[in-house]
Amino acid sequence: MTSGPITRSLAAPLAAKKPHRREHHNDVYIDDYEWLRDKDNPEVIAHLEAENSYTQARTANQENLRTQIFTEIKNRTQETDLSVPVRRGAFWYYTRTVEGQEYGIHCRAPIAGPDDWTAPLLGTEQSVSGEQILLDDNAEAEGHDFFSLGSFDLSDDGTQLLYAVDVEGDERYTIRVRTIATGENLPDAIPNTSAGALFDPSGRYLFYTTVDDAWRPDTVWRHEIGSARAADVSLFHEPDERFWVGVGITRSRKFLMIEAGSSVTTESWVLDASDPTGDFSVVWPRQDNVEYDVEHAVIAEDDRLLIVHNGGSAVNFELVSVAAHDPQGEKRMLLPHDPKIRLESVDAFADFLVVEYRREGLTRLAIDRHDASGLTELDFDEPLFAVGSAGNPEWTQPTLRFGFTSFVTPSTVYDLVVATGERRLLKQQPVLGGYDPALYEQRREWATADDGTRVPISLVYRRDLVTPGTPAPTLLYGYGSYEHSIDPGFGIARLSLLDRGMIFAIAHVRGGGELGRTWYENGKTTTKRNTFTDFVSCARHLIDAGFTTPSQLVAEGGSAGGLLMGAVANLAPELFSGILAEVPFVDALTSILDPSLPLTVIEWDEWGDPLHDAEVYAYMKSYSPVENVRAVDYPSILAVTSLNDTRVLYVEPAKWVAKLREVGADALLKTEMSAGHGGVSGRYSAWHERAFNYAWVLDAAGLNPAGFTPEDS
């Protein structure tokens, strides 16, 4: 359990009960803690602060362990570092980090010439000839408790910078435009925007989105540089509350794109970028439950739109091309549907295409060189890994930048010379202190769900500290929503768990996208309980196979994965010694019933519409964690949230912990008072937060003896 008998005797804060009646579909529910929703109420803030004080006192026995873990993360991290430069136009762009500073510094340096496609391998301390600092996030963040950069774009001629900043954590950004030569900002300042603003190719206009009262990006705007915001033109407004909107531009810089999308339906609009004040036209009119993505390509000197879609029977998506001037005309099949492969995206360059997909639960990358050779898949020699293209802004580049990682291989960046197949290693994430990947083992296990479905589990541990068949402390992570996949990847902070003899595992439960679209479809709306029972089956498999025991097993999940944590706490509390729920969506039914709350209507495609459908209401009530707290022996629980989170409101874990306290559960609540959904900003603050959570995990798993350090193992 989380703490010893002395600290357990501290009196926990008890939230006052103020009954609030909720009635839907002839069902009445009395919510005693709805009053906690009003964060402008001093009584609410006082309660959250009391919870924070209680959590600090209850976890005082972990202070030394927290300090050790923070120090380990810091000592393993190369604090003064820089990213691999990415070429755009006449410059290489990169970001520096400096020891002692929380945020990055965005820089650029000139290319050697038009044929310079070899990224310079810059030293962390060396001065770079011609280097310019474009934006120092540390300077921008000065005086603020929170800082987030939501937009960052350069004009095509390289003379102007567009950037947007959020200093509250509520994901509303203020756009500014800077003249790079002088470092001075223009008068243009556009507050209350979404992330993702950009210049048009002329640099005369910028395009951005704004949100409605429910924080839904619903309108696309055009702003002429130097004009008043009142003169901005609304280009596209989406009235359907299930849909969000975004704006972008193709890699070829030929077309501006607007996309409207719900969880299950999309619609794209296109405009020739040479006419930025023209009218957008629809690519394919929206059809319910049909999603598609659009990319521009030039094939045999013909302008084509490449469309990845799931129309008809293409459950796992297929790739077609259409004429750019007539997108609703003849379709040419490029990659037909394959039930064993989930096609995810296609990227087009002047001389090749890149296709990304999933097979056997792992990401894949393949190249098509615009010749008769077909697709060539990149192969890797590890059993578990994640790969994807990134940092490829240039239409004419002859190389493909891609990243590779696994549980044991730090994030690695390559350039692939497409014409020859040569891979150039550009950088691997430094791990200071003598990291040896040979010490660690990664493997795949399969659990059997209640309905017979096989559910994959990915594991990593130290070979010399863990012997399969001999139970060891284990952290089991899960998510399982929105078709979002949790892929194997390296984490410096995770070494602090592994080097103490802990197994780290991921339960790839239904509702995620690891095994294709049907894997997602069988873990949403009225099949959502599969997500929870799959996780329980994975926990039981690890116990039955001898990897761990209930007294050593801790579960972790965040956001929708926090809902998973709340659900499994109610379903199978006996399987876990601790549950870490980060920004947890644990009052799901209350939130999804209220269309005035941020993003609720958009979520109906994911969870169902309990407001208008009695069957969905009853189904959600059967699993929503707050409504199903019961008098059982719960494991220790830590809920972590943020006061300014606009996606999962702090009130959800606050209610949950209050309900758990009613039945005597050992539940703690920790609220960041100046952060949003992603938690605190700044890398050192993030390391402290991770150290706090991991110290709690280790303590809950029985790995917090006095004075223990990894060297003792």
Q: Which residues are catalytic?
A: 559, 645, 677
Cβ atoms of 459 and 507 closer than 8 Å: no
User: Which residues are CB-contacts of 167 (< 8 A; sequence separation ≥ 6)?
Assistant: 141, 144, 146, 147, 148
DSSP state letter for 188? E
Tokens in use for 152? 């960052």
Nearest to 695 by CA among 625, 632, 640, 652: 640
Distance, in Å, from the CA atom of 332 to the CA atom of 342, rounded to the nearest integer, reads: 20
Cβ atoms of 404 and 378 closer than 8 Å: no
Distance, in Å, from the CA atom of 366 to the CA atom of 712, rounded to the nearest integer, reads: 45
- Helix (H/G/I), strand (E/B), else coil: 641: strand
127 burial level (CB within 10 Å; 0-12, 13-18, 19+): exposed
Q: What is the DSSP string of 330-375?
A: --EEEE---TTEEEEEEEE-SS-EEEEEEETTEEEEEEE-SSTT-E
- Helix (H/G/I), strand (E/B), else coil: 205: strand
- How far is C-alpha 373 from the chain's CA centre? 36
CB burial string 22-52: b at 16+ within 10 A, e below? eebeeeeeebbbbbbbebeeeebeebbeebb
What is the dihedral sign for C-alpha 218, 624, 529, 580? positive
What is the dihedral sign for C-alpha 653, 658, 664, 666? positive
Nearest to 32 by CA among 574, 660, 697, 471: 660
Distance, in Å, from the CA atom of 516 to the CA atom of 453, rounded to the nearest integer, reads: 14
Residue 142: its H or E element: none
Distance, in Å, from the CA atom of 535 to the CA atom of 520, rounded to the nearest integer, reads: 14
| C-alpha dihedral, 211 to 682 to 206 to 244, nearest 10° | -30
Tokens in use for 284? 């394919």
Other C-beta atoms closer than 10 Å to the C-beta of 192 total 11
